[in-house]
Amino acid sequence: MPQPAFIAISHGTSSDEGRLAVSRLFDAVADRLPGVEVYLGHVDVQEPDVATTLEAAEGPAVIVPLLLSAGYHVRVDLQRAIRDRDDVVIAAAMGPDARLAEVLAERLGPLEPEQRVVLAVAGSSDERANDDCRAAAKLLADVLGRDVTVGFLAAAEPRLDAAVAEAARDGDVVVANYLLAPGYFHDLAVELAAGHRVADPLLLPDDAPPASLVELVVDRYEAAASA
């Protein structure tokens, strides 16, 4: 029996660097799934959109959200898109996951003992997604062996600029970047960090995606496919 198709759905971005970074992750995952039909679509900004991508995948399929938390796009947009497709299932979002925390720590690099860490996250109107981001901060704190606070870029409080200002009362601040790839939110994080160092996002356009993130997406697909 053939394996269900792999449908990766990203948020979408107008950033050329962000598009390249995400497409490199998709290509690396596709290489790990020989014999599986693979498709890449987006919930916003880019084409093909979710509906068009689903039309291309005519048989059984697994949607893997290339999203770091299960917010509105996962719980509403994608669920609505598959309501007439009983042969399509939605896998878990990428985060929170310890493998993401490990990559975040690598992006931060060596830290001084007195440095404070703030995790920049996109934020969501769905509080469950914000809780996912808080859980990601706890995972990063476990890796780093120090406290990590959260600063939201939209839709929730505290905003990143406020979180950075609060942390800066106790010393130098470095901002960990819980964003998948370069784009609007990364640029906003740099602006709101007000001169404090902002680490690179999880994916970079000029580098191969971290092997652990490729493994993470493959695991999400295989878990949903086997279920």
pLDDT digits (tens, 9 = 90+) for 134-183: 999 999 999 999 999 999 999 899 999 999 999 999 889 999 999 999 99
| Distance of alpha carbon 66 from alpha carbon 128, whole angstroms | 17
Residues contacting 170, CB < 8 A, separation 6+:
116
Whole-angstrom Cα distance, residue 106 to residue 200? 10
Name the one residue in this structure whose structure tokens are 């993130």: 213
Q: pLDDT per residue over 21-70, tens digit each?
A: 999 999 999 999 999 999 999 998 899 999 999 999 989 999 999 999 98
Domain with CATH 3.40.50.1400 in the chain: 5-95+206-226, 98-198
CATH architecture for the domain at 98-198: 3-Layer(aba) Sandwich (3.40)
Q: What gap in Å lies between CA 217 and CA 24, rounded to an integer?
A: 13
Distance between CA atoms of residues 122 and 138, nearest Å:
16
Tell me the CATH number for domain 5-95+206-226.
Answer: 3.40.50.1400
CB 64 within 8 A of CB 217: yes
Preceding peptide of 34 cis, ω within 30°: no
Query: Does position 2 have pLDDT exceeding 80, yes or no?
Result: no
Are 57 and 37 in contact by the 8 Å Cβ rule? The answer is yes
The size of the chain, in residues, is 227
106-140 pLDDT tens trace: 999 999 999 999 999 999 989 999 999 999 999 99
Q: How far apart are CA 125 and CA 219, in angstroms?
A: 27
Q: How far apart are the first and last CA of the chain?
A: 15
